[in-house]
Amino acid sequence: MALRTIVTYPHKALTTPALPVVAFDTALHALLDDMVETMYASNGVGLAANQIDVLQRVYVIDAGGEDDRQLIEFINPEIIEKSGTITWDEGCLSFPELYEKVKRARHVTVRFQNRSGAFKELDATDLLGVAIQHELDHIDGICFIDRMGPIKRKTALKEYQRMMQVRRQEARDHARELAAGQEQA
Ligand code: CO
């Protein structure tokens, strides 16, 4: 198993639809294992393959807590039924530090395959239901900012760009401090 690098917006993989999985082989299992490890290491609720620059219709979700793991691996998922609306304060590992309210279906029924290729069906609401919709958007090349109205999307992007600039500056400062430390040693 290995940690994968999570790409951040505006990486191209985040706006490119992924392709269906056809082989349920050891390569898929290795991908899933890496995604699960990467999601937990980042304290994420879900992670889609697009977010690690792999364009396959795969995502993992754990809507449980640290003491109550509820890992589900979704391959070739499809929402076959949805109803109601719910507003959820969403975040995304590809948009560090950005949290915004997004409107989603309250209840979804999702059909998907597990790592062996067996078909499954699942009814979900609340956090799990929202995560299923958020991650399904990722493999379609859609990000949560695209689910906001045009004005909110613009404001959120501006805020995100500002925060990313601060992060880059901090990284540069840190690198400079490290370099200075090495010179002294
Ligand atoms: Co996301």
| 149/5 Cα distance (integer angstroms) | 30
Average per-residue pLDDT in the chain? 96
Catalytic (active-site) positions:
135
pTM more than 0.85: yes
Distance between Cα 131 and ligand 1 center (Å): 8
Helical spans, DSSP H, in the chain? 26-41, 126-139, 150-184
Kind of pairing between the strands at 100-104 and 86-90: antiparallel
Which pLDDT does position 161 carry in this prediction?
96
Distance between Cα 74 and ligand 1 center (Å): 15
| 33/21 Cα distance (integer angstroms) | 16
Express each pLDDT in 61-93 by its tens digit. Answer: 999 988 899 999 999 999 999 999 999 999 999
CA 168, 31, 127, 131 torsion-angle sign = positive
- The residue count of the chain comes to 185
Residue percentage of the chain with pLDDT more than 70: 99
Tokens matching residue 76: 């070739």
Express each pLDDT in 97-122 by its tens digit. Answer: 999 999 999 999 999 999 999 999 99
Distance between Cα 121 and ligand 1 center (Å): 22
Residue of 66, 79, 67, 70 lying closest to 135 (CA atoms): 79
Which pLDDT does position 184 carry in this prediction?
72
Distance between Cα 180 and ligand 1 center (Å): 37
What are the angstrom distances between the C-alpha of 48 and each of 9, 14, 35, 153? Answer: 14, 10, 8, 21
Residue of 135, 74, 73 lying closest to 104 (CA atoms): 135
Structural contact between residues 49 and 4, judged by C-beta atoms closer than 8 angstroms: no
The better pLDDT of the pair 66, 149 is held by 149
Which pLDDT does position 185 carry in this prediction?
65
Burial category of 170 from C-beta neighbours within 10 Å (exposed 0-12, middle 13-18, buried 19 and up): exposed
| 87/101 Cα distance (integer angstroms) | 6
| 22/72 Cα distance (integer angstroms) | 19
